[in-house]
Amino acid sequence: MTDFLVQESGHWKQLLLLKQVLYTHTNILTWTKCFLSFGVRSQQQELEQNPQSLSIAQGALASFNCTYSTASQNFMWYRQYAGKGPELVMSIYASGEKVEGRFTAQLSTAGRYVSLLIRDSQLRDSATYLCALSTQHSPDTCSLYPNPLGTQKCGALTLQGAGFLCDIHGN
C-alpha cells in the first residue's frame, strides 16, 4: 500500500488517490488499477475505476476513468515512473474537456466521472497513473509526497489509508 501526504500553503489536506498502472511488455501497453480510499470523520469518500484492466497496442488511445462519490470538482492526474516521485500530468477544475498535447482530461460533474486520455500512446507513457481529487481549488500550490509514516494527515486529522496493493508481473 502507498500512502501520501499532501501539503498546500503549509497546511495538510486530503487527497484521494486511485492508482492506475500502465506498463509495457513486448510493445503492448497494459493498464490495471489499484484502489486507495481515505475516510474523513466517518464520512467515506471514494474514487473507483472501471474496467479493472485494459490492454492496448502502442500508438492506440489509452483511457483512464474514475468515478467519484463526492461533491469535489478539483481533480488532478499524476504520473509516477518506477523509482521516481509523482509528477503532475494535468488538472481539471470544471466540467468539460482540457487538452495538453497528447493528453486530454475530461470532467463530468453531472455524471460524476473524470477521465484521462492519452492519444498515440508511446512506450515512454508506461508508468503508474494517479487520479486524485481535492475538496479545495488550488492549482499552483498542491504537491504530492510519499508518506513514510503510513498515515494520511489532514490539518488536525490523521487518516488511515486502506486499499489493495497491485503486483504487476510480466511473462
Indicate whether this model's pTM tops 0.85. no
CATH number of 15-137: 2.60.40.10
- Per-residue pLDDT at 81: 83
* Cα torsion angle, 62, 67, 73, 77, sign: negative
Residue with cell string 481549488: 137
35-40 average pLDDT score? 33
Domain boundaries, given as residue ranges, for the chain: 15-137
Distance CA(33)–CA(133), nearest Å, equals 16
- Mean pLDDT across 154-164: 26
pLDDT digit string (tens) for 46-70? 677 665 566 678 888 988 888 888 7
- Give yes or no for a contact between 90 and 74, defined as CB atoms under 8 angstroms apart: no
Instruction: Band the pLDDT of 101: cuts 50, 70, 90.
Output: very high
Is 137 a residue whose pLDDT tops 90?
no
pLDDT digits (tens, 9 = 90+) for 103-127: 999 999 899 999 999 999 888 888 7
